[in-house]
Amino acid sequence: MLRASLAVKIAVLIVVVLIIGFGASTVLTIQREADLLIEQNKVSARRLTATLVASIEGAMLQERPDVTRTVLQELKTSSPVEGLTIFRRTGDEAFTDLSTAMEVDKNAGLDKQVLDTSRRWRGRRARRRRTRCS
C-alpha cells in the first residue's frame, strides 16, 4: 500500500512538472511572438511613412499639390491607416486649403491647370462637409 501511494505521488509530481513546464513554455512563446508582431508592425509603418514622404516630396518638387492631396485622401479613406495628418511648419493642417498653392504660385508660378484642379477639389470638399452636417 505504501508503494501504491508513492507511485501516485510520483505520477502527480510528474504531471504537475509537465503542466508547469508546458505552461511556462507556452507563455514565453506567446510573449515572443507578440513582440515579433509588434516589431513587424513598426517596420511596416516605417516603410509606409518613407513611401509617403517620398511621394509627397516628389509631388511638391513637381509643383503638384493636387496630386499630393489626392494621395492623402485615398490613404485616409481606403487603407489600413487609422489616422493620417500632415502639418505645416506653422502647425496648421496641410493640404486642406489653397494657401500653400497660392504662395507657391506667387513665388514660383504654378501651372493654371494645377490651380484649377486645387480649386475644384476645395469646392467638392466644402460641399461634402455641408451635406454631412445637414
CB atoms within 10 A of CB 70: 15
Residues 14 and 51 grouped into a single domain:
yes
Q: What is the pLDDT of residues 66-103, one digit of tens each?
A: 777 777 778 777 767 777 788 878 888 777 766 666 66
Q: Return the pLDDT at 13.
A: 95
Average pLDDT of the residues in 39-53: 89
CB atoms within 10 A of CB 56: 18
- Alpha-carbon distance of 71 to 54, in angstroms, equals 12
Residue 40 has pLDDT above 70, yes or no: yes
Question: Last residue of a domain, which of 15, 44, 61?
Answer: 61
> 99-107 and 112-133 helices cross at what angle (nearest 10)?
170
Q: Return the pLDDT at 30.
A: 98
Number of H helices, E strands in the chain: 4, 0
Residues 69 and 128 grouped into a single domain:
yes
Residues 76 and 21 grouped into a single domain:
no
Q: What is the pLDDT of residues 97-121, one digit of tens each?
A: 666 666 666 666 666 666 666 566 5
Report percent pLDDT > 70 for the chain: 68
Range of the domain at 133: 65-134
Type of residue found at 48: L
Residues 88 and 129 grouped into a single domain:
yes
Per-residue pLDDT band for 29 (boundaries 50, 70, 90) equals: very high
Average pLDDT of the residues in 38-64: 85
Residues 84 and 131 grouped into a single domain:
yes
- The structural domain count of the chain equals 2
Residues 69 and 131 grouped into a single domain:
yes
Full-model pTM: 0.56
Q: Copy the grid coordinates of residue 39.
A: 516589431
- In the block, residue with C-alpha cell 516605417: 46
Per-residue pLDDT band for 122 (boundaries 50, 70, 90) equals: low
